Chains A and B, each alone.
Chain A
Amino acid sequence: MPDNFPSAPVQPSPTQHTAAPLLAVRNLCVSFPSGGRMIPIVENVSFTLAERDILGLVGESGSGKSVTAMALMGLIDSPGVQITGSALFRGQELVGLPQKQLRRLRGRQIAMIFQDPMTAFTPVYTIGWQIDEQIRAHERLSRKQARARTVDLLAEMGVPDPARTADRYPHQLSGGLRQRAMIAMALSCNPALLIADEPTTALDVTVQAQILDLIRGLRTAYGSSVLLITHDMGVVAETCDTTLVLYSGRVAETGPTQALFAQPGHPYTAALLASIPPLDGPRPERLPAIAGAPPVPLERPAGCAFSPRCHYVHEACLPAPPPPLVPVGPHQSAACVLSTEGTPLPPRLISACASAAASIRHQAAPTPPPSHGEVSP
C-alpha cells in the first residue's frame, strides 16, 4: 500500500513495546478557570504509547478524554487554562511548547481525526483543496504534486473515484466518505501519531466497522501509532492494544486490552463491561447500568471519584487522596483499593477474552464487517 505513496514511511523500529515510547505522558493536569477558581478537568493522567501501538482512551462524556487529546495537540486556547505535567513526544516536551513549534508538529507529526466528519471540513472548499492545503503547509510541493498525493491517499482510504471525489465539496459526500477523507487528510504528511477523537461516533455501524478496519490497518501501512478516544467498549475490544479507562478526569485503570477485558481491576471498568449485552446464554431482563452520573469536576469526592456509584465502596475509599494506581496484573494497574486489601474483583464470566471481543464485535456491527477495500456509498 505505501509503495505508490511519495514519501513512504520508514519507521525506525518495527517491534512493539521494546523501543522507546513514541509518546510518554506523565501527570498531565488540565485546569480551567471558572468563577475565580481553577477547576481540574484532567488530573494526573499518565500513559505511554509505543510505536505502532493503538491505545484506547475510554470514558464517559465529560471524563476528560478529548481535553487530554486537545492538550497534547496544544489546541486548548481558552484564556487562563493551566496545563501541567509532561508529555514527551519523541523526546520533545509538548507541554509548554511555543505555538509556533507546536504548529510544525501539528498535522505533520501528530495528526488528529475528529468526531463529526459532517462539520470537520470547511464547507466552502473542496475536499481535495483542504487536503492539499495541509500537505502544502508542511512540505514544499507544487499544487499538482500535492493533488497527486491527495488523490493517492484518497484511493488508499478506499474512496471510489478519488480524482473526482477530491473535487467535491464536503456536503456532497456521505459521512463515511467524509471520515475517510478526514483520515486521508490526517495521514497526508505521514504522522507518527494519529489522535482519533471518537472517529466512529457519528457514523452508522457498518461504516463504523469499515473505518475501524482502516484505522487498524494504519500501523502496518503507515507505521502510525494511534491514540483512539472513544466511549464505546466494543470499539476498544476490536481495535486497541492497550486501554486506558478515564473516570472523571482521573485514570481508573490501564492495561493490555485483553487482560483488562478478562479481569478488570477497577469496579468502574467491570461495570462498563457488564453493561454490554451478552451474546450467549440467557438474555438478561434488564442490562446492568451504572446508577447515578459522574460527578461534576467541582464536586469530585476527595477520595475515589467513583465511590458514590460503586458497589464495593467502604471506608478506605472515602478519604483523600484518591487511591493511587496499583498493579493488578502484568502491565495492568487500577486505581482501586480492592486488590491491595486482598479482595480483587473476580474475573468476568466470559473469561476467555477472545469470545468477549467477538461478542462485542458482533454487537458493534450486526452485518458482517466488509473487507478493507470495500467502499461506502
Chain B
Amino acid sequence: MITALLRRLGQTVFVLFGISALVFCVFFATPGADPTARIAGRNASPQTMEKVRKEYGFDRPLPVQYATMMKKLFITRDLASYVDRGELVVPEIARAAPVTVSLVCGAALIWVVASIAMGTLAAAMKGSWVDRGLMMLGLIGISMPVFWLGQVTNLITQSRYHDTWLFSWVPGLGYVPFTESPLGWFKALVIPWVVLAVMFIGIYSRVLRADLVALAGEDFMRTARAKGLSPTRVLLRHGLRTSMVTFVSLFGLDFAQLVGGGALLTEVVFGLPGVGRLTYQALTNLDLPLIMATVMYSAVFVVLANAVVDSVYLLLDPRVRDAR
C-alpha cells in the first residue's frame, strides 16, 4: 500500500510538470503573439517593454523562459503584475487562498452531511412521498444557478428583511479572517456556504440515492438480509459503505475544482476576496502573470485533491488496493 501511495505521488509530480509546461506554452509560446506586450499591459513605454523582455528572458530560448517563469513563481516568488503597478502575484494568491478554502470546506461539510442524509433517507423510503419530496428538492437545488440564489439571499438578508429579527445578525458582504474573530468568520461565511452547497446537495443526494437503490438489487445485499441483519444495518453498513466509493470519487473532483477557483460566482456575489475572484479580476484586466499564477494554483489543487481522493480510494476499496 505504501508503494501504491508513493507511485501515486510520483504521478502527481509528473502531472504537475506537464500542466505547468502546458500553461506556460499557452501563455508565452503562442506563435504570433508577443508575451512582452501582454505582460507590460496596454500602451506600455518602450523602456518597460525592454525591462519585461529582460526580466522574463523573452530574448532567450523557450526552456530558459520556462525555467525563469517557474523560478519566479515558486522559488523567488517575485512574479509581479505590471498592470497592477508591480503588485506581487504570489502573496496575492496566498492572501486569497484561505478565503476560498474557508468557503469551500464549509460548503463541502454541509453538502456531504446533507446529501448523505437525504440520499440515504430517500433510498430507505424508496417510492414513498418522503423519497419523492426529497428528490424533488434536490432537483430544485440543481436547477437554481448559484449566482441567482446568492443574489436572492443577499436581497433578502442584506436589504429586504435585514432589519427583522431573523436576519439582523447577518454582517455586510465581505470576509472576516478566522484568526481575527472566529464568530465573525462564521457569520460572514455561513450564508455563502449554504448557497454554494445547495446545488451539490441536489446532485449528490440524487446520485447517492440512485446508487443505493441499484445496490439494493445486488447479491451481497440479499446475503446481508439473509443473514438476519436489521434493514438499517444492511442499508448503512453494507449499502452506504459500498456506495461511498462512488461518492468519494465524485466529491474529490468537485472539491478540487472549487478550491481551484471554481467557486468564482459565489465569491463574486458575496464579495469574498478568494482565488476565484482574483482570477476573475485578472481576466478582466488581462493581467497575464496573475492569470498564469492562478491557473497554476488551481491546477496544483486539482491534481493534489485527486491524489488525495485516490489515496482515500485505497482505504475504501480493497479491490483497488490489490490492483496496483
**What residues on A are CB-neighbors of B230 within 8 Å?**
103
Contacts from A to B (Cβ < 8 Å): 73, 75, 79, 99, 103-108, 111-112, 114, 116, 119-125, 133-134, 137-138, 169, 171-172, 182, 185
Q: Are B242 and A114 in contact (CB under 8 A)?
A: no
The reply on B32 being an interface residue by CB < 8 A is: no
Task: State how many angstroms separate the Cβ of A122 from the closest Cβ of chain B.
Answer: 4
Query: Closest approach, in angstroms, between the C-beta of A103 and any C-beta of chain B?
Result: 5
Q: Report the Cα distance A169→B242, complex, angstroms.
A: 14
The residues of A that contact B220 with a CB separation of less than 8 Å are 119-123
Q: How far is the CA of A254 from the CA of B117 in the complex (A)?
A: 51
Query: CA separation between A89 and B224, bound complex, in Å?
Result: 22
Q: Which chain B residue lies CB-closest to A185? A: B227
Residues of B that sit less than 8 Å from A by CB: 127, 218-220, 222-231, 233, 237-238, 241-242, 245, 316-319, 322
Residues B228 and A137 in contact, CB atoms below 8 Å apart: yes
CB < 8 Å A-B pair total? 76
| Complex Cα gap A107–B225 (Å) | 9
Known A122-B242, A123-B319, A172-B322; judge A108-B228 contact (CB<8 A). Answer: yes
Among residues of A, the one whose C-beta sits closest to the C-beta of B216 is: A77
Known: A121-B220, A122-B242. A106 touches B316 (CB 8 A): no
Q: Provide the bound-state CA to CA distance between A123 and B243, in Å.
A: 11
Residue in B222, B245, B319 whose CB lies within 8 Å of A114:
B222
Measured CB to CB, the nearest residue on chain B to A106 is B228
Residues of A near B127 (CB, < 8 A) are: 79
Rounded to whole Å, the gap between the CB of A80 and the closest CB of chain B is 11
Closest approach, in angstroms, between the C-beta of A247 and any C-beta of chain B? 25
Could you pull out 12 A-B pairs where Cβ atoms are within 8 angstroms?
A75-B222, A103-B229, A107-B228, A112-B226, A122-B224, A123-B317, A134-B229, A137-B228, A138-B228, A169-B322, A171-B318, A171-B319
Contact B227 A122 (CB under 8 A): no
Q: A120: which of B223, B229, B231, B318 is its contact (CB, 8 Å)?
A: B223
Q: How far apart sit A112 and B225, CA to CA, in the bound complex (Å)?
A: 10
Complex interface: chain B residues within 8 A of A125 (CB): 241
Residue of B nearest to A126 (CB): B318
Chain B residue at smallest Cβ distance from A135: B227
CB distance from A190 to the nearest CB of B (A): 13
